[in-house]
Amino acid sequence: MRCFLPILLTVLLLPCQAETITLDEGNSIINMGNSGASHYRINGFNDPVLALHSGISYTVNRTSGGHPLVFAFNDTAFPSAVTYSGNLEAGTAFRQSSVLGSGDPGWLFRVAPNSSGEFTFPPALEGKEVFYYCEISGHRGMIGKVTIDPPVTEPMATPAIRSLSLSGTTLSLGITGAPNASFAVKSTATLSGGAFPTQETTTPAVVTTDGSGNATVTLQTASRSSLFLRVEQLP
């Protein structure tokens, strides 16, 4: 006699989430096609979330005909502005009122079919709910979300001594740090306490890195038997 064990298969249905495409200063061109009247297509995705930054000039290229494109911010304190509802990530959001008109509060940018345009988000829109969508009211699925963050700032290079050589009592230092910045060479005779209280007299007197962040400086060790050095960037 054969026994059969029933197996219950449970399928977990997860909500559809839109792809997120991050565009910064080195990658600021947005090529937007469309899939009929259902979706805008960007980098092979339907209506992806665009993660953009304020202060960067973006270029939008509409690569197909029809479906006039609008980027808009809705100031919901004003009833004449654009409002949205629905599950945007699932592509079912829709407009409840007309687009911003002349003089309406908010922010609006249009790109005609088979055309291009440039825009820059002002800092005031950082963290606001901005959307792109088709201006034809019946094309409700052609809508996506835009997130706006502050511009990306490059981290400051940590100053460091990259080379040194001693000739008699003359010590030559090669340092690296932020480009075109001023530095001081600090010293101590002992590492106890971790403080570098003495600012060395150097040649040149003001240590300034070049455009690549490099500088060479000399100082006199005199008769000091021990010397610990640190480079600090000046304000």
CATH number belonging to domain 20-149: 2.60.40.420
Tell me: the pLDDT tens digits for 35-47?
A: 999 999 999 999 9
Domain locations in the chain? 20-149, 160-233
Tell me: the pLDDT tens digits for 98-129?
A: 566 656 667 778 888 899 988 888 888 888 87
Which of 71-85, 140-154, 201-215 is predicted most confidently?
201-215
Instruction: Inform me whether the pLDDT recorded for 33 exceeds 90.
Output: yes
Is residue 212 very low, low, confident or very high in pLDDT (cuts 50, 70, 90)? confident
Instruction: Name residues whose C-beta falls within 8 Å of residue 203's C-beta, 6 or more positions apart in sequence.
Output: 217, 218, 219
